[in-house]
Chains A and B, each alone.
Chain A
Amino acid sequence: MLREIRPAIVLLLVLTALTGLVYPLAMTAIAGAIFPAQANGSLIEKDGKVIGSALIGQQFKSDKYFHGRPSATLAPDPNDSTKTVPAPYNAANSGGSNLGPTSKALADRLKEDVDRLKAENPNVAVPADLVTTSASGLDPDISPEAAQFQVPRIAKVRNMPEGAVSQLVAANTQGRLLGLIGEPRVNVLALNLALDRAAAK
């Protein structure tokens, strides 16, 4: 048994260095050389400033932009660091609501949001993803139905024809891979950037 002590120490250190340092550092160098944009977080620049990442959702509150999904992310309370406060789309502290199917808090929140959206667009059924929080709190996407639901509001606020806004939604909709894998979706940040560009013309 005693002769197992040396491998237990040396082999562990060698394999730790290999898998815990050499491998991740080598991959960082190689990935940075081959795919620099993705390796650094798929950042989007506008007028020379970083305005976000193509993959990370951000909060939109203004009526002139398409809204993403509700986000349940939190941040430390500035007044009491042992507590947390809601901080939607906090990309330094991902997480979901974790409210279960019989949660009263969830039922109340859903009702409030559905009522608000029904007032905005009474003619269409409210898509589920527009009132449910995502698992990460950073979902960059909404369903095409959720985007379409907001078209009348955007058209009115921006004074654009609804058809033109709908076309932007269609142009920014990604389908399933090979028609099979994943779900159709619209990246909210990309759509809003396209909207700003269309308005500028």
Chain B
Amino acid sequence: MTVVGWLQIILFCVIIVALAKPLGWYMTRVFGGERTFMSPVLRPIEAGVYWISGVDERREQHWLTYTVAMLLFHIGGFLIIYGVMRLQAVLPLNPAGQSAVAEDLSFNTAISFITNTNWQNYGGESTISYLVQMLGLTHQNFLSAATGIALAVALIRGFSRASMRTIGNFWVDVTRTTLYVLLPVCVVYTLFLVWQGIPQTLGDYVETTTLEGAKQTIAVGPVASQVAIKMLGTNGGGFFNANAAHPFENPTALSNFVQMMSIFAIGAALTNVFGRMVGNQRQGWAILAVMGVLFVAGVAVTYWAEANGTATMHALGLTGGNMEGKEVRFGIVASSLFAVITTAASCGAVNAMHDSFTALGGMIPLINIQLGEIIVGGVGAGLYGMLLFVVLAIFVAGLMVGRTPEYVGKKIEAREVKMAMLAILVLPLMYLGWTAVGVVYPPAVASMANAGPHGFTEVLYAFTSATGNNGSAFAGLTGNTLFYNLTLASAMFVGRFFMIVPAMAIAGSLAAKKSVPPSAGTFPTTGGLFVGLVVGVVLIIGGLTFFPALALGPIVEHLAMNAGNVF
């Protein structure tokens, strides 16, 4: 570890905190339907979209209607992606002549993108045409992100409203998020990325003859426009197989730094939106503080482990840390930081290969996802995931003093706690259950790339990443098989929707409750005690759930490595 390395990490944290307030202010106005400086340009488009699709923007929805609208929207999105992938060979904008994508891979990819997972069982440049990249993947990068944000805002309305039956209008929330937040940022961001060197072209792959006379085919495409939303919307599905490690997806140290910022920007700002909407910004800062504590602890461990390198490298006298699967322009620190960010948020883009991380360095990304990606988290998903933990923490606090717990003026009762537990418990069921199958079923075992405990971790990471809708991978695992295409798709589906529906049920139930003014007996939820309590609940629930699995994977591998074993 170096001083310059830590300064980069500190600079990153400072910028994220500084961005939260102005971005939170802007987004609060957008979700509230107020005028913004973009309105003169965008309001006519917005009104036109509502008119043509028959949306009455003043009519709000019950939580059940809101949820059904969201689900219908996803069915349509699924059909579009599946359709364009299956028809790829006969559709235009396919200069590399890619053939139709197989049924199981198309199914997996369509589920992967509507759930904001963006798991890559497909190879990018070797599998997908430009049209599918744009019409299939880029479009769902926007809409799955907009959906996540809309759902978080609906849940916040549950907290901020009193005695109301409705929690907003899904169509309006999605449209406004797309038009006023995601698109304008992406237009500017795309141009920045092209300036840094990311291609944006519909031209053919480039045939070159290298300096030594060999042939090299260089894949290009409309990359920048997709990378912008892939990061901002915490999607993470790469244009290329190597994702953000590919020089055309992440050409410079600056592009890397800005990409890291854009993964966290909206998620962090949503905590400020929460504070503003419930009438006290300090409530938002307290939640961001919980996230910050867990984040910095994770960065410290991964950075230390990667800078330290592996036993094999020490024995050979190699200096410079564990550079296997990392790019020189990012080095140890920016690769470690990126890995923790991408898994703390549910982004899943990678600028280094997590499979080649040291045992402990690679364990932190795994833990981040297993905690439910609540450390900033996916756009929207992170906030509603964190609020579920807050509900539990408040419940625990209430039990300790024997009082009905309250949070931002709402009584937390049996229904909310049951729903929060359902959402939190269904995740380990998916990733632990499928991992158990994956390590004994012979065709699944054959997919492992590494032997020994590392192979187990590859399988555990795959199902954890899918359930958490992250999308990063221990990529040695051959995921494009019938078994993994179907099981991973089921994990992604359950991980997304079995979390969303209970969260929306909580939103509806809270919105209908009266607001109780704080009294002398109310537990203050803006101070250090609250932050400590939530961190504790997150770690205890998480630790009890997945510690045994971690002991079989990364922990035993670390011990084996130090004992000089290779597999």
* Residues in chain A within 8 A of chain B (CB atoms): 1, 3-12, 14-16, 18-21, 23-25, 27-28, 30-32, 34-35, 38-43, 46, 49-62, 65, 69, 89-104, 106-107, 110-111, 114, 125-129, 131-143, 145, 176-177, 179-183, 185, 189, 192-193, 196
Q: Which residue of A lies closest to B71 (CB)?
A: A8
Interface residue from A50, A179, A182 paired with B330 (Cβ < 8 Å): A182
8 contacts between A and B (CB under 8 A): A4-B65, A14-B53, A31-B194, A39-B194, A55-B247, A99-B449, A135-B242, A143-B328
Binding site for A on B (CB under 8 A): 4, 7-8, 11, 49, 52-55, 65, 68-69, 72-73, 75-77, 80, 96, 123-126, 134-136, 138-139, 141-143, 171, 174-175, 178, 183, 186-187, 190-191, 194-203, 205-212, 214, 216-220, 222, 224-226, 229, 240-242, 245-248, 251-254, 256-257, 309-313, 316-331, 333-335, 350-353, 355-359, 362, 449-454, 457, 474-476, 557, 560-561, 565-567
A138 to B247, Cβ gap below 8 A?
A: yes
Given A21-B135, A134-B328, answer yes or no on A55-B476 (Cβ-Cβ < 8 Å): no
Q: Write the nearest CB–CB distance from A136 to chain B, whole angstroms.
A: 4
A144 to chain B: closest CB distance in Å?
10
Q: Which 3 residue pairs across A and B have the least CB separation, nearest first?
A: A182-B253, A20-B139, A98-B476
A18 — which chain B residues lie within 8 A by C-beta? 178, 183
Min CB–CB distance A189 → chain B (angstroms) = 7
Residues in chain A near residue B334, CB distance under 8 A = 181-183
Contact B454 A31 (CB under 8 A): no
The reply to whether B567 and A142 form a contact with Cβ atoms under 8 Å apart is no
Across-interface contacts of A145 in B (CB, < 8 A): 320
B328 touches A177 (CB 8 A): no
Chain B residues in 8 Å Cβ range of A53: 206, 208, 218
Residues in B with CB closer than 8 Å to A106 are 312, 324, 356
Asked whether A92 and B55 contact (CB < 8 A) given A31-B190, A180-B8, the answer is no
Q: Which residue from chain A places its CB closest to the CB of B130 in the assembled complex?
A: A24
Chain A residues with Cβ below 8 Å from B310 are: 101-102
Q: In the bound complex, do residue B199 and residue A40 qualify as a contact, i.e. CB atoms below 8 Å apart? A: yes
- B356 & A39 in contact (Cβ 8 Å cutoff): no
- Contact partners of A140 in chain B: CB under 8 A: 247
Q: B331 CB to closest chain A CB, in angstroms?
A: 3
Q: Return the chain A residue nearest B64 by Cβ.
A: A1
CA distance A139 to B73 in the complex (A): 40
Question: A128 with B253: in contact, given A30-B191, A31-B190, A41-B220 (CB under 8 Å)?
Answer: no
B171, B208, B355, most chain A CB atoms within 10 A: B208
For A100, the chain B residues whose CB sits under 8 A away are 355-356, 359, 362, 450, 454, 457, 474, 476, 557
What distance in Å separates the Cβ of B388 from its nearest Cβ neighbour in chain A? Answer: 26
- Find out whether the CB atom of A4 lies under 8 angstroms from the CB atom of B211: no
Query: Closest approach, in angstroms, between the C-beta of B417 and any C-beta of chain A?
Result: 29
Nearest CB of A to B55, in Å: 5
Which residue on B lies nearest to A34, using beta carbons? B191
State whether A102 and B560 are in contact (beta carbons under 8 Å apart), knowing that A16-B139, A40-B201, A111-B316 are contacts in the complex.
yes
Q: For residue A70, which residue of chain B has the nearest CB?
A: B324
Are A35 and B69 in contact, CB atoms less than 8 angstroms apart? no
Interface contact B186-A132, CB-CB below 8 Å: no
Known contacts A19-B138, A102-B359, A102-B560; A185 and B329 CB within 8 A of each other: yes
